[in-house]
Structures are given as C-alpha cells and as structure tokens.
Amino acid sequence: MRYETVIGLEVHAELATESKIFCACSAHSFGSEPNANICPACCGMPGVLPIMNKRVLECGIKAGLMCGCEIARVTTFDRKNYFYPDLPSGYQLTQWFAPIATRGCVEIETSSGTKRIRIKQIHMEEDAGKLVHDISDRYSYADFNRTSVPLIEIVSMPDISSADEAEAYLERLKTLLRFARVSECEMAHGTMRCDVNVSIREEGSDAPGVRTEMKNLNSIRSIRRAIEFEAARHADAIANGTERLERETRRWDDEKGMSFAMRAKETAGDYGYFPDANIMPITVDDALIERLRRELPEMPEAKKARYMSSFGLSEYDASRLTESIALCECFEKAREVCGDAKAAANWTISETLRILNARKMTGDMLKIDGAGLGEIVRLVEDGKISRANGRRLLEEMFDDPTLSPAKRVAEEGCAIKADDGQIEAAAREAIAANRKAVDDYLGGKEKALMALFGQCMKRLKGNCDPLRLRETLVGLLAKGEKK
Amino acid sequence: MRARRKNREKSERERRRGKRHERKTGKADRGGMTGETRAEETASERRTEKKAIVDDMFLLRDRVCSGGLPAMRKYVSPIEADVATLFREAGYSKIEKIGCGAYGLDLTGETPLDAQAGGNADCPLREAMKDETALFAACLDANGAPRRAAATSGLVALKPTYGAVSRYGIYSAASSGDVAGFVARDAKACATAYGIAARHSDRDGTSEPDEAGTRRAKAERARGIARVVVLDDFLDGVDAATRNRIAEFEAGLNAAGIKTERATCRLIRMSNIPWNVILCAETRANLAKIDGMRFGECPERHSSVDEAYETERTNGFPAMIKCAIAYGAFALESDRYAARFDRALRLRRLVRNEFDRLFETFDAAVLPACSKAAYSESDYASLSPFCENAYSAPASITGLPALVARGVQTIGRMRADEALLDYCERCEAMQ
C-alpha cells in the first residue's frame, strides 16, 4: 500500500520590534544576561496591566498582507490558561477567537511546479520565558528575558506533503517576513521556530490519519529529519502494526534522530481559552491597512525580474541580491550613487556578503549605507583608490555606518597618486631585482607575475591603479625588459 | 511654639503643592467640587495632615499588600497603585490601609456591621473615618463589597464607570468588572476622591482617554437626574427595613422634584447569574499566578514541589476563593464554554441593552444595594456573596456607575458618575 504524508506547520516568528508586546522592556535579549530585560508587567507581578504595543499590530497586519490573508477589522486577545514555571502570569495572551489575519496562501516552487499552501490564520501572541536546567542538579532556573516578546504564529493548512515542500514553504515565509521587516526569521537565534504536525494516509484517500505534533524545532535540517522520521514511523506502525499510533505531542531528539512521546495532544478545552478583559478589542480601519500596504516593499520576484530586465544582471546575481531586503536596498542605493549596476551588484554580492559571513551576520542585519558602498565602487572603478583600499573602507563602514569613504580617503591620503612614469619606474626596478620571478614568468609560470606585482605595489606603497600596473609589467616583460 | 509654626509651614507647603497640581492638571472642578468647597477644604487642610485610606487590594510601594490572601501575606509590592499616587499628588501624603476581606470578593470586605442597626460596631472603615483627617477610602469593587458595606454602615459609596479610574496597581479579581470604588462619609468627600482619581492612565489599556471621558461626563452632568425608575422586582426577597428605605428614598426624591416610576426587569434582576460565571472565570485566571512559591509564602517543610504547592494552595486561599477558582475552571472547560462563559458574555450584552432601553426614558435606576438593611453575625455565615451580589451585579456586569447613599443604590448612565454625586448631594439635603 502506498501512503502520502500530510503535514501542517505552525511557524512562530519573533517580531522585529524594539520593545515587548505588552510592556516597554527591550525585546532583544539574545546574548543578554538572564533576567536583564524584565519588569513587573512581563514577570506577571500583581497589579500590572498589559498595554498593547502598536508596532506589533502593524507587524501582524503586514505579515497577513504578505501572505495574502484577510485582515480582521476587529481583533481581540484571549487568555490561554496553563500552569508552567516559564509562564509567570499563569496564562499566555494570544488570539484564539479573533486572530488578526485569516485565509491566506503562499506559493512555493516544487519539482512538479508551483504549489499553493493555504494559511489558516496568523495570530499575535506573547512568548513564554525559558527554563535553564543545566546549571544545577537540584534546581531549575527561570529566565524571563523572553517573556512577552512578541510573536506571530502562522498556521498552515495541511497542504504540505513532503520534507522538501516543508523546506520550500519555510524558506518562502522567511523571505516574505524578512522583506516586510516583520521578523528576522533567524532560526539559529530562535527568532523562528516551528511546530510540525504529521500524519499519513492511504494515497488518494481523504480520511485523516492520526496526527502527531513535534514542538519547537529550530532548524530546517531538524524539521526535515523529524518529518521523514515521523512519516516512516507512522507508515511502519500502520503497515506492520509495530505500535499503536496516538494523537500526541512528541519531542524531537536531534542527536538520536528520533521522536519520543511527551504527552497526549492538548485540546482547546485543556487551555480554558477566554477573552482577556485587560486589552480592549482592537479596531483595524481601512486607512491603517492601506497605509501598511503602501509601506510594503516590492515582492522579491518582482524585484528580481526588474533587476534582470532593467539593470541587465544575471539570474544568479539577481537571486542573491533578493535574498534580503537590506541587501536589495544597499544595492539600489549603491547603484544610484556609482551609476554602474553590474559593479554595484558585484560589490554587494562578493564583498558585502563576504564580510557579513565572516561576522556571522545575515543580510537583514546589514546596517551600512548603500550610498557609502556606491561611493567606494565609484572610487575603485574610477581608479582613484585600489580595490584593496576599497575593501578596507567597506570593512570600516561595517564598524562605523556613518563613515564617508571620500572623506576618509582624503584624510588618509590613500588615493592613488602614482602616475604612469612612476609605475613604469617601479616596474623596471622590480624586474631588475627579481630575476628568478622574471625567468619563471617567461618560462610559462603565470603566477610569477604576482610576485613582481607585489614588489611593485610595495615600492609604490599601494598607491597605484592595479590594472595600469599589471598592463605595464606585462608590456615590459613582453618587450624583454629583463635584459 | 516652634512645632506649631513648623506645622503651619508644612500645611502651607502642601496647600501650595495642591494648587500647583490643580493648575497643572486643571482638575479642580471635577467630582462636583467648586472653588468654594476647595477653599473650605483648604482651611481644614491647614489644621490637619490629609490622609486617605485604601483597602488591601491596592498595592503600595514597599508595603506588604496581601489582597486578603494568606498566600500573599509576605508580599511586598514593587509598584504603587495609580489611585494611591494620585491621592499623594493631591496632598494626601499619608495613605493608610484597611483589610479587604477575601480578595475583595466577600460580603462586605472588612467594613461591615452597622452598630446602630444592632450589628457589630467593629467596622474598620467606619472607625477609620471617625478620625476627621480621613475623608474617604478607595476599595476595590469587584463583587459589590464596598457598596454593601456602605449600605449597611450608613456611608456613601461610588462604583465609578468602568474605565473612569485606573486599575493599575490593584490586584485583579474580575478584570472586566473590577473598579476602584470610593467610600466616604458624605457625597462631597466621595466627589473629592473621585475628582482626584478619575484620570486616564497610560498604564491601564481600559482607561478611557481624558478628553472623551470629560466630554461624556460633562454631557451627563448637564443632563442631570430628573427621572428615576425604581426596579420593583429587586424588592422581592429583601427585608422590611430595606423595603422601607426604598419607599422613603422614593418619597424623598419626589419631594426634591425628581419623578419616579416603578418597573420590573427580569433580565437585570438575574444579572448575577452570568456575572458569577464571568467573575469566577476571570478570578481563577488572575489567581493562577498567585502562589507563595513566588511571592513569599512557601511552606517550610515539604518533601516535593507538588507537596509544597498543595500545602501552599490549601492554606493560601480562603474557602470562598477556592470555590470561585473551582467554579471558574468548570465554566471554562471546553464542553461547557459555550453553555456557560460564552452565554454569560451574551447575557452581559443583553443586560446592557436592557439598561440602555431603560435609560431612553429614565436618567437612573434605583434598587437596593443588598437584601438587608444591616447584616447580623449569623448572616456572615449564612449569606453567600454569590447570591447577595444579585443587587450589585447589574452595575458590575455592565460597567455602569452606581452610587449608594442612604442605604439605597442608584445606577446611572455610562460616565454619569458626577451626575450621580450631584444627585447624592440632593439626597443628603432632603434628609
């Protein structure tokens, strides 16, 4: 018998807001000391009341618009009651009865073409704290930095049927949310987590299978492995009767590559949902939706097509640039300033991404001014500074985004000053002093030219146009300068 | 001599501070207080240090605030209630605390028995107010306890419109009905308390913006209370003394030129049924976080965390609160949500609609505040606050303002708080 896998994903994305959802504490606690960003409100102390962060609402609406959802005109918050030490108020404020966005859809590319994954709803909610168990054998510690950090939960319909599709769906969501600046969606930093619901059924059947859920998976690799393992376990259980499938919540152990039963699946009744009276129903008017719609950026596909048609970029370059909205903005500004789309794209992709990778940063964390990059590209392309100096200036711009490249070049005096005569003199000296390198070059070793090139640069203190120097060296060697 | 001069100087400083506050906030005329009454009060301020009272549901910074729960008897609050802050800013530099009963939900808090009616004279609120320096007290009105206390103690109580006074810094019981109420010797003092505390607060999302609130309050005050309906069906089941009170009150209103009519309204009469569902469910959720493990009352001996929680929760909550928690949990179970909590919310809307219908014809509705003119010792054992709240629930469930004077309760339109206080002064005058 052949089975098909039915997968539904619940994706939690931490919203890119400065403060928490219901208080003024900083929402950025990655790398902070435990309990550094807390107040009586997010610690659930008696007497404090939640005050809704307006930016969270805007992010929720933007996420809904990016996923083609209907936006609720009145949205409310509800209490999800459960007892756990990482939840100081004894209930989580979430949206059960009237979520901010419903009935959307996301398109993904699969091996058999484009597929639509329906979105059931997007709702806003607060995150819980974190328990730390490995400090002591006797105690567990609670870190409330993450408590009340704003999240959206994107609940898909069970339209996903393989690990590949799940990956494509997650990548697509990441791109959409990053483009709208709704979330950084950085799984490694915990700003995106995923609950995976898996069941299997006979191919072609509509009857639902027994669904199991695996919570808080935080890498695409884990999600893929968890789906593949769980689908295989279900198939084995049904085909061979190896175990009885239960509707339950399971824990995924990435090291062992297996899932383990945690508890029976909770139902809405277990949580005693009811409307929260401390937050008034929020009315969303057309004007707000329209304003936020106008603020949305051009969609990644449209941008990619425009880069290829208007700027003549290759598909590869256009794809790399449209991985992140920050990269796009940097490139577009750089192109405006230097007037050369290809050069701006090369510098953005090769140099900027190289530095980001070296600093373990993502494209969305890019803070440098695209105009500054454009200035560097123009200086290099015009032969006013060397490429090496351009790279160094770009590195410096990562540390100081306000840095003006032209001003720094003037201050440092690193502009290329050597004229053709000086370059030729330096080349002649280098050739005369490095007989072996000359012989090697003339004997066919192209790399030997770099030794001569380096010697010249040393003599000119890097103050020359590298292309001009190379041409001069090659010309002199061709004329038999060694003699 | 020197001490007297020092006191005089201190009073003068406080008076100036009060004036500055007035200029800054422009709030002198709120709560029915005229410039003349302010001047009279200022004269008395010079004589004594001004003092306000709050019940134990209000949190005061660095003070033990238990909310009447044994589980919280060691809890020292890091925050201060907005109401207390406003009292201090208005020159009430000394804030005293009185008990609040079981989480403010019981029959009359700790402010019960009218000595004159043969009850126990041990009424902390009354006793506190015998001291002339304390004009008023702020008490959480979640289940009508301050109104019943006022009705049985000969005091005046105002349950303001929901959203008129900030709830920040008050233990939450039933979040959708909790209001900081005021109890005072007379309407003027009650108006003073309301005038100070009725402010928008950025720390309470349900607090009405000042501009909108003031506009509505002014309109209601201008309209005044000229026509009143006595809700007849609330007189079934009350004692003879209460019935007499209502009759006398009605006659007094007529004598003062206020027209009265009688009507019945079963839906309003039954409003404590949905209110008890909402009250218990919300209280249950609000109390979930209250455990001595976090707030100081951890049992000394325990062999496991489970045992510690069990001991602490068994000892930490009064029986009535445990009952509310159990019923709240029951009402929210999935198979009962639609039949109980959801239906209670729909009934809340219907009760409010019924009031709106009444207020098309009348300016206010009169009904008893409780079933008895005074509670006896045995009533405290036999009367359940979940039945006795039949008289307080109409205002609690709808968020409408309610005023208790001369032992009788009057419910007004949204934001008619000041109109009710003016009317209360007229009621006092007709005495």
A54-63, A444-453, B188-197, B281-290: least confident range: A444-453
A153-157, A164-168, A432-436, B344-348: least confident range: A432-436
Q: In chain B, which among 185-214 make CB contacts under 8 A with chain A?
A: 202-206
Least CB–CB distance from B206: residue in A83, A91, A278: A278
Predicted pLDDT of residue B40? 52
Least CB–CB distance from A51: residue in B59, B205, B288: B205
Helix axes A370-381, A387-399, angle to 10 degrees: 170
For residue B138 the two structure tokens come to 């702020």
- A31 — contact with chain B (CB < 8 Å)? no
B400 compared with A2, residue with greater pLDDT: B400
Residue A483 has pLDDT above 70, yes or no: no
Please report which confidence band the pLDDT of residue B119 belongs to, taking 50, 70 and 90 as the band edges: very low
For residue A51 the two structure tokens come to 């005050």
Gap between the Cα atoms of A65 and A60, Å rounded: 9
3-state SS track over chain A: CCEEEEEEEEEEEEECCCECCCCCCECCCCCCCCCCCCCCCCCCCCCCCCCCCHHHHHHHHHHHHHCCCEECCEECCEEEECCCCCCCCCEEEECCCCCCEEEEEEEEEECCEEEEEEEEEEEEEECCCEEECCCCCCCCEEECCCCCCEEEEEEECCCECCHHHHHHHHHHHHHHHHHCCCECCCHHHCCEEEEEEEEEEECCCCCCCCCEEEEEECCHHHHHHHHHHHHHHHHHHHHHCCCCCCCEEEEEECCCCEEEEEEECCCHHHHCCEECCCCCCEECCHHHHHHHHHHCCCCHHHHHHHHHHHHCCCHHHHHHHCCCHHHHHHHHHHHHHHCCHHHHHHHHHHHHHHHHHHCCCCHHHCCCCHHHHHHHHHHHHCCCCCHHHHHHHHHHHHHCCCCCHHHHHHHHCCCCCCCHHHHHHHHHHHHHHCHHHHHHHHCCCCCHHHHHHHHHHHHHCCCCCHHHHHHHHHHHHHCCCCC
- Residues of chain A with Cβ-Cβ distance to B168 below 8 Å are 47-49
Contact criterion met (CB below 8 Å) for A363 and A354: no
Judge: A88–B345 Cβ closer than 8 Å, yes or no: no
A57-66, A436-445, B301-310, B322-331: least confident range: B301-310
Predicted pLDDT of residue B18? 44
- Residues of chain B with Cβ-Cβ distance to A270 below 8 Å are 334
Predicted pLDDT of residue B19? 44
Please report which confidence band the pLDDT of residue A164 belongs to, taking 50, 70 and 90 as the band edges: very high
The count of other CB atoms within 10 Å of the CB of residue B394 is 30
A53 compared with A205, residue with greater pLDDT: A53
Judge: B205–A52 Cβ closer than 8 Å, yes or no: yes
Predicted pLDDT of residue B311? 85
- A50 — contact with chain B (CB < 8 Å)? yes
Contact criterion met (CB below 8 Å) for A400 and A390: no
- Residues of chain A with Cβ-Cβ distance to B77 below 8 Å are 45-47
Average pLDDT over residues A180-202: 91
Tell me the pLDDT tens digit for each residue of A48-94. 999 999 999 999 999 999 999 999 999 999 999 998 889 999 999 99
B129 compared with B199, residue with greater pLDDT: B199
Interface probe for B, chosen from A274, A276, A279, A282 (most Cβ of B below 10 Å), is: A274
Please report which confidence band the pLDDT of residue A482 belongs to, taking 50, 70 and 90 as the band edges: very low
Predicted pLDDT of residue B411? 98
Share the mean pLDDT of chain B. 85
Judge: A274–B341 Cβ closer than 8 Å, yes or no: yes
Predicted pLDDT of residue B123? 56
Please report which confidence band the pLDDT of residue B388 belongs to, taking 50, 70 and 90 as the band edges: very high
B15 compared with A259, residue with greater pLDDT: A259
Please report which confidence band the pLDDT of residue B184 belongs to, taking 50, 70 and 90 as the band edges: very high
Tell me the pLDDT tens digit for each residue of A315-369. 999 998 988 888 899 999 999 999 999 999 999 998 998 898 888 887 777 888 8
Residue A305 has pLDDT above 70, yes or no: yes
- B22 — contact with chain A (CB < 8 Å)? no
B133 compared with A349, residue with greater pLDDT: A349
The count of other CB atoms within 10 Å of the CB of residue B133 is 17
- Residues of chain A with Cβ-Cβ distance to B333 below 8 Å are 269, 272
Judge: A45–B79 Cβ closer than 8 Å, yes or no: yes
Residue A213 has pLDDT above 80, yes or no: yes
Residue A234 has pLDDT above 50, yes or no: yes
Predicted pLDDT of residue A359? 86
Average pLDDT over residues B153-159: 92
- A48 — contact with chain B (CB < 8 Å)? yes
